[in-house]
Amino acid sequence: MQPKAIPAANDGAIASFTEYLRVKGSSPLTIEAYQSDLLQLSAFLGHRQLIKARRQDLSRYVGHLLSTMTARSAARKVATFRQFFKFLLMDGRIAANPMLRVESPKIGKALPKWLAISEINTYLGSSANEHEYLTRRNQAILELFYAAGLRVSEMASAKLADLNLHDRYLTVWGKGNKERIAPVGHTAADALRHYLAQRHLFTQNSPLLFVGRTGEQITRQRLWQIVRARSKAIGRNVGPHMLRHSAATHMMDNGADLRTVQTILGHVEIDTTQVYTHVTMEGTKKNYLAHHPRATLKHRQMNLDLGKAAQQQSASFGPMLCAQCSDSVCGESKWLCALHLQLSRESNRRSRERRRLIGMCAHCPNPAVRGKLQCARHLQLAREAARRYEMRKREKKRLDQRAAA
């Protein structure tokens, strides 16, 4: 890892924090990401000393992050700052932690993207017109991504000595240098044997499992390119983590217990693995509504007057009934009939009126800005969200015009 230039004002603080992370066992990529986040914060503050940063400075920077990137990316950087200032407090460099009252961006729990089994079969069955060695190597990489659920960094650092083709498993060194055993199926083992039969023609000294055509270590960027190169076969933008998600989802669909999937993927907390239970529940629900005779019959008997898009949604998720009664939903809502939608709007209007009269924000207990229904913070967040929406809208329009041309 190439060290980055650190401003003299923050040389000691960032260097000490970097050494603390190294002693704690953080990976070089994690240390590099944390250092980059702190350097960006330092640049935003005019290269002032980070130990003199105030809560107002950090809150202003979080607002700047939310206007330039997604909430998930901003939350990751905020987590870096929390660790950094917590370290400074423990080290006695600051008297109070300025991050204590800085809120992290709220991010929703997005379900992981995964491929259906038919898509996996098509994806792994296609091959590019490359040199025979590269074709075998790339096929072995893709099969191992799906078979063992590896992360891209784990694939790049996999050692030849860690592979046991006789018992079909790979010893993986994951996050925090934690060791785990990842089983390898017959198909992936056969692909690895075909690759290893020609590996000696390109390198005899490298301890790494996968190498380039000149014997050098294969990079994470090159692994991404290999995975993306097959995406045309199924018409989806596939990444290494999507293959990992697909492996976990398919194991859960076929009856694997949660603890087994956690062990194979190398998750420290089982809460991380539980997201796949929601994925499989969604798939089970779709299959039930698509194939259960009573579910489809009930939909036909109702004979709702739906548009084409609503009919497609109803075919996947069943009859569209009001969440409060047995009437069908109206065209303006996904969950409510016309009556309950009107009642909901009246209730929201009365709630806003009460909050306006007492000067309270519509989203939190803080005082609202004069003449507005929101506090200063939520008003700023709403403006930033509207600005990001307009930017995405213009970008989509520009891409559509380019595609039409």
Residue matched to tokens 């603080």: 13
Sign of CA dihedral 273, 279, 280, 282: positive
244 is catalytic: yes
pLDDT of residue 186: 92
Q: Could you say which of 86, 159, 241, 388 is catalytic?
A: 241
What pTM was estimated for this model as a whole?
Answer: 0.58
For 148, 157, 286, 308, 335, the CA distances from 321, given in Å and listed in that order, are 42, 52, 17, 17, 7
Span 8-90 CATH architecture: Orthogonal Bundle (1.10)
Catalytic residue among 151, 250, 299, 340: 151
Instruction: Note if 291 is an active site residue.
Output: no
Place of tokens 């390119």: 225
Separation CA 174–CA 153 (nearest Å): 8
pLDDT digits (tens, 9 = 90+) for 188-243: 999 999 999 888 877 888 899 998 888 888 888 999 999 998 888 888 889 999 99
pLDDT in tens, 29-64: 889 999 999 999 988 988 888 888 899 989 999 989
Q: How confident is the model at residue 126 (pLDDT cuts 50, 70, 90)?
A: confident
Catalytic annotation present for 47: no
175 is catalytic: yes
**Which CATH number among 3.40.50.150, 3.40.50.1820, 2.40.50.100, 1.10.443.10 corresponds to the domain 117-279?**
1.10.443.10
**Percent of the chain whose predicted confidence (pLDDT) is above 70:** 83
The one catalytic residue among 77, 137, 276, 378: 276
Clarify whether 334 is annotated catalytic. Answer: no
Q: Which residue out of 175, 194, 220, 286 is catalytically annotated?
A: 175
The CA-based angle 57-62-67, given to 5 degrees, is: 125
Is there a shared CATH topology between the 8-90 domain and the 117-279 domain? Answer: no
Q: Does residue 292 carry a catalytic annotation?
A: no
Model confidence pLDDT, tens digit, residues 301-354: 444 444 444 444 444 444 467 777 767 788 787 778 888 888 888 887 777 777
Catalytic, out of 137, 245, 267, 378: 267
Q: Where exactly are the structural domains of the chain? A: 8-90, 117-279, 341-404
Residue 248 backbone phi and psi in degrees, to 5: -65, -40
